[in-house]
Copies of this chain bind each other. A is one copy, B any other.
């Protein structure tokens, strides 16, 4: 029974885009810096290109071109490129570091805290992000995310979709892979988790890249165990009332 989820004991969540709306938060932070300095630019484009720096950084590691680095380090490297390109100069080291930590201050999607709190009543809930543990802990405190446990590629110095990242969660929780459900707004992440034996849940986040921009990942791919429209909907679908 592909959709039997009765054996699931823990849910682990992709974070950027699935739990938090990084694009709106990052656009707001960089836009505020621009305003303060009297610089006008397409700050949504800045956010998208900053995010792409993280994806590119992980790919360089997967391709064997670079050493493993934390998300904070990849964010900072791309930030140092983007700031002058968008006309922002003269920030102090402290101001630049503070801006780089905008990724620690991302707003949850409106249903995230309520839905996670519901899910926590029945399941172990944890992150499973490529972001570093320090970033994820600060983000949880900022947004009130009620995680039971923080898992990250940080723990094995690799990134999803490396199987050891997915399997580290089951191993550290002393569970079987099928007792852990990967939850994400991105089918690629879920299909990888599924390949290594995890259960899977898709939660739609159609505006991650802005209204109408998302062409893929509008719904669960065939074979994903559960498809939901929010974390609250997911809780209902996993048998939690409220």
Complex contact B172–A154 (CB within 8 A): yes
A149 contact from B72, B133, B172, B175, Cβ within 8 A: B133
Interface residues of A (CB under 8 A from B): 70, 72, 124, 132-135, 137-138, 140-141, 147-150, 154-155, 172-175
Let me know if A124 and B141 touch, CB within 8 A.
yes
> In the complex, what distance in Å separates the CA atom of A236 from the CA atom of B137?
23
List 15 extra interface pairs beyond A133-B174, A150-B150, CB under 8 A: A124-B137, A124-B138, A132-B172, A132-B174, A133-B149, A133-B172, A133-B173, A134-B172, A134-B173, A135-B174, A137-B148, A140-B148, A148-B150, A149-B149, A149-B150
A-B complex: 3 closest residue pairs judged by Cβ atoms: A134-B174, A133-B172, A134-B173
Q: Are B70 and A174 touching (Cβ within 8 A)?
A: yes
Which B residues lie within 8 Å of A154 (CB)? 172
Alpha-carbon distance A140/B173, docked complex (angstroms) = 13
**Bound-complex Cα distance A72 to B175 (A):** 13
